[in-house]
Amino acid sequence: MDQQLTDIDPGISENALKSFKAVLSKPGDIYKLFFLFTKRLNKYFQISRSSLIIYSKQDNKLKVIAMKGLKGARKGLTLTLPENNSLLYKIFEDGQFYIQHNLKNFEGNFIEEKILKDRSAQSLVVLPIRQDNKRCGLVCFSSPNQNAFTAFESSKMNEILDYFGKNLIIKIPTSCV
């Protein structure tokens, strides 16, 4: 992991991985945790947009509950995503993380495109969040860098993301699920 991250940015080390976990152990609600984690990832991956999407058991739908872009952050949303031609529902069902390095041919629907990427976006990663092997939502990041998220394919980064998902899930407001 260190070598892969170091290839992207020589300043990233095992200490960087520890700092990700430190962010996740801070007190606060789901939104604070999500925004802090996005801010920390931004140091290494130039995040231009991030979205937190949870799965509602009440209506079996995916809902955007928080977003962050270059122009600010929004939390407390409950935007229900459409299922037609949906990349996000496919990823959620599959349960595997998804990386797309060329966003000129975006594979999702119009609403997803507007939520997930801005004009500068060149790459996208969508990460399923789980608790006890049950899928609970998705975390999505886009970047203006063409290959920004190749490090997400490493096992150490997956460990961080799993840890993130577990800490995030316990903080989901009951009004969302």
Report yes or no on 175 lying in a domain: no
Structure tokens at 69: 């872009």
Tell me the residue ranges of DSSP E strands in 43-133.
49-56, 61-69, 72-80, 98-100, 123-131
Report yes or no on 102 lying in a domain: yes
Residue 62: alpha-carbon gap to chain centroid: 14
The pLDDT of residue 72 is above 80: yes
DSSP-H helix ranges across the chain: 2-8, 14-24, 30-45, 87-94, 110-116, 155-169
Report yes or no on 112 lying in a domain: yes
Q: What integer pLDDT is reported at residue 9 of this predicted model?
A: 41
* pLDDT, mean of residues 19-34: 77
Contacts for 156 with CB less than 8 Å, ≥ 6 apart: 1, 2, 17
Report yes or no on 16 lying in a domain: yes
Q: What integer pLDDT is reported at residue 90 of this predicted model?
A: 96
Report yes or no on 174 lying in a domain: no
Report yes or no on 61 lying in a domain: yes
Say if CB 124 and CB 112 are below 8 A apart: no
Q: How many domains does the chain have?
A: 1
* pLDDT, mean of residues 41-60: 89
More reliable by pLDDT, 55 or 22: 55
Structure tokens at 129: 């969040």
pTM as predicted? 0.83
Report yes or no on 131 lying in a domain: yes
Residues 103-113: tens digit of each pLDDT: 888 888 999 99
Report yes or no on 176 lying in a domain: no
User: Which residue range is the domain that position 87 belongs to?
Assistant: 2-169
Q: What is the CATH number of the domain that holds 31?
A: 3.30.450.40
Residues 75-101: tens digit of each pLDDT: 888 899 999 999 999 999 998 889 988
Q: What integer pLDDT is reported at residue 10 of this predicted model?
A: 39
The pLDDT of residue 1 is above 50: no
